[in-house]
Amino acid sequence: MSKIIVRGGQRLSGTVRVHGAKNAVLPILAASVLASEGESVIADVPLLDDVLTIREVIASLGADVQHGEETMTIRAQRLTTYEPPYEMVRKMRASILVMGPLLARTGRVKISLPGGCAIGMRAIDQHLKGFEAMGVNVTLGQGYIEAKVDGRLKGSKIYLDVASVGATENIMMAASLADGTTTIENAAKEPEIVDLANYLNAMGAHVRGAGTDIIRIEGVEKLRGVRHTVIPDRVEAGTYMIAAAITGGDVLIEGAIADHLAPVISKLQEMGVTVHEMDNGLHVIADKPLKAVDVKTLPYPGFPTDMQSQMMSLLLVSDGTSVVTETIFENRFMHVEEFNKMNAQIKVDGRSAIVNGGMPLTGAKVTATDLRAGAALICAALVAEGVSEISGTHHIDRGYVDIAGKMAALGADIQRVEATREAVIAAAPVAVRETVSFKREKEVVRTVQPTWA
Ligand SMILES: CC(=O)N[C@H]1[C@@H](OP(=O)(O)OP(=O)(O)OC[C@H]2O[C@@H](n3ccc(=O)[nH]c3=O)[C@H](O)[C@@H]2O)O[C@H](CO)[C@@H](O)[C@@H]1O
Ligand SMILES: C=C(OP(=O)(O)O)C(=O)O
């Protein structure tokens, strides 16, 4: 188990490059198995744990997958199974995104239920409802979903009761090879859905309306592999915007797309942060005291739930009281308890959290309870007095490429400590640990075990 150790108080400045979007690359890699001809070369693939998991999942289906530095090449002419292994599927909820492509290619799928996760129940009824409307027989039992269609999937009209991102993607992928036209009403509109539609269309699909709440997909006989570059990660970009703002910093977030981040930019501007749209990204300057604002998460183009905890970290250092309302996931306030360990004053009342801003934050030992909560704790630690230790880094590794390295390059006093290194810190005499400065402490540790450097 590793930890991220931060000593607060450094102002961030400089340039940070945004990687390809986790939430775009996962469905795109799942969609790559729709191609019965040619090869797909996917560029700007971030090296994340979730990406490694989806790579294993599609390879387990029989696809040939070659992973370059930031590219992935997939040939899926022959699929050898319709049953991705349980051990891989259970690692990541997004594994469910192979359902649509498998049904379209093989007419069958057997996959373990992804289950609820820490941030909420995360039902998949809308995915299944969509497949059933396309002629699929779905049975559930012993923790598995078995789905089968006789012949080709049939185009259908599907109204989603909730504008689910995953259900929209799964149905869009399945419908691309269906017989006839599928209409998804109340479709999700996230930029990652548009990116998936662009990839599918380049493969030969006919997807129209992605990015609006009605998507029409005219099924085609077959799809072929193509080259596609993944969009930049708006949540990673937003996280660095918060990190810049919380430290009173001046940071260029290279690759960030303003349109994808409109609600985040608006809220930061309301708070008193300057955000300039540049040709190559977003320039964030925080040189004024921050004002409290209320925030409510909503489906795109509303404020993203994946930025809620990071935004809350910024509200902790603003003047006044803010109300943060989470409407997407029913259990996405677990970071509140961790923030409160850092001297924050937040009370949860149902789906809202009341944040009493302006309390001086103090370093503490805290745990990342999910991916974005981990990033938010790092943001808070950047301004906390003293040292914070953030554990639960496996969550953070699902969605951030080298967050400690990127923050350090901007001037943060942050390092990742692997278990063995930690054990040495813990074993060091308390007097030594208390008297050396944080930077010196790193040197002491490195002297003890130089191979960690
Ligand atoms: C890999 C990926 O892209 N993950 C993103 C995706 O997750 P994901 O696709 O899982 O999120 P959904 O949009 O499906 O879920 C939104 C809400 O709808 C509910 N729901 C969903 C499907 C369903 O069949 N029935 C149902 O009731 C969920 O429980 C949740 O409360 O969108 C979320 C919402 O923007 C983001 O937080 C995730 O980062
Ligand atoms: C909730 C998230 O991802 P996932 O849907 O993969 O769990 C996220 O990216 O914040």
Task: Report the chain's C-alpha Rg in angstroms.
Answer: 23
**Within a domain: residue 443?**
no
Let me know if 84 is exposed, middle or buried by CB neighbors in 10 A (0-12, 13-18, 19+): buried
pLDDT in the model for residue 444: 33
Are the C-beta atoms of residues 163 and 213 closer than 8 Å to each other? yes
**Within a domain: residue 445?**
no
Phi and psi at residue 75, to the nearest 5°: -120, 125
pLDDT in the model for residue 449: 31
What average pLDDT does range 75-83 have in this prediction?
A: 97
361 Cα to the center of ligand 2, angstroms: 27
What average pLDDT does range 419-437 have in this prediction?
A: 48
Last residue of a domain, one of 173, 198, 229: 229
Helix (H, G, I), strand (E, B) or coil at 287: coil
166 Cα to the center of ligand 1, angstroms: 6
How many Cβ atoms sit within 10 Å of the Cβ of residue 121? 11
Same domain, 285 and 259: yes
**Within a domain: residue 191?**
yes
Same domain, 93 and 112: yes
Same domain, 173 and 252: no
* Most ligand 1 atoms within 8 A of CB, residue of 28, 164, 196 to mutate: 164
H or E, element range at 322: strand 321-325
Q: Whose CA is nearest to atom 16 of ligand 1?
A: 164
pLDDT band (50, 70, 90) for residue 44 = very high
Same domain, 265 and 215: no
Please tell me what DSSP assigns to residue 398: T
Helix (H, G, I), strand (E, B) or coil at 19: coil
pLDDT in the model for residue 446: 30
Same domain, 67 and 150: yes
- Which ligand has its closest atom nearest to the C-alpha of 190? 1
> Residues 14, 68, 115, 117: which is the catalytic one?
117
pLDDT in the model for residue 1: 80
> Which residues sit with their C-beta closer than 6 Å to ligand 1?
23, 26, 93-94, 120-127, 162, 164-167, 188, 192, 305-306, 328-329
Q: Whose CA is nearest to atom 3 of ligand 1?
A: 23
- Residue 155's alpha-carbon distances to 158, 212, 285, in angstroms, are 9, 19, 50
Residue set of the binding site for phosphoenolpyruvate: 22-23
* Distance separating alpha carbons of residues 28 and 192, to the nearest angstrom: 9
pLDDT at 428 over 90: no
Same domain, 137 and 260: no
What average pLDDT does range 108-126 have in this prediction?
A: 86
Same domain, 167 and 245: no
Give yes or no: 117 in active site: yes
**Within a domain: residue 428?**
no
Same domain, 66 and 211: yes
Q: Which domain holds residue 133?
A: 22-229
Same domain, 383 and 245: yes
Are the C-beta atoms of residues 250 and 279 closer than 8 Å to each other? no
How many Cβ atoms sit within 10 Å of the Cβ of residue 257? 18
pLDDT in the model for residue 115: 59
Last residue of a domain, one of 166, 197, 229: 229
Are the C-beta atoms of residues 250 and 284 closer than 8 Å to each other? yes
* Distance separating alpha carbons of residues 360 and 422, to the nearest angstrom: 27
Mean pLDDT score of the chain, rounded to an integer?
92
At 257-289, the pLDDT tens digits run: 999 999 999 999 999 999 999 999 999 999 999
Same domain, 14 and 50: no
Same domain, 307 and 345: yes
Helix (H, G, I), strand (E, B) or coil at 77: coil
Are the C-beta atoms of residues 42 and 31 closer than 8 Å to each other? no
Specify the higher pLDDT residue, 174 or 436.
174
Are the C-beta atoms of residues 357 and 292 closer than 8 Å to each other? yes
At 144-158, the pLDDT tens digits run: 999 999 999 999 999
CATH value at residue 58: 3.65.10.10
* Most ligand 1 atoms within 8 A of CB, residue of 129, 138, 162, 233 to mutate: 162
Phi and psi at residue 346, to the nearest 5°: -130, 135
283 Cα to the center of ligand 2, angstroms: 26
* Distance separating alpha carbons of residues 294 and 52, to the nearest angstrom: 37
**Within a domain: residue 426?**
no
- Does the beta carbon of 94 sit less than 6 angstroms from any atom of ligand 2? yes
**Within a domain: residue 310?**
yes
* Distance separating alpha carbons of residues 14 and 404, to the nearest angstrom: 15
Q: Which of 128, 134, 96 is nearest to 113 (CA)?
A: 96
Token pair for 185: 């009403």
pLDDT at 418 over 90: no
Length of the chain: 453
pLDDT in the model for residue 421: 52
Same domain, 250 and 343: yes
pLDDT in the model for residue 182: 98
Model confidence, pTM:
0.93
- Residue 295's alpha-carbon distances to 240, 273, 327, in angstroms, are 18, 16, 11
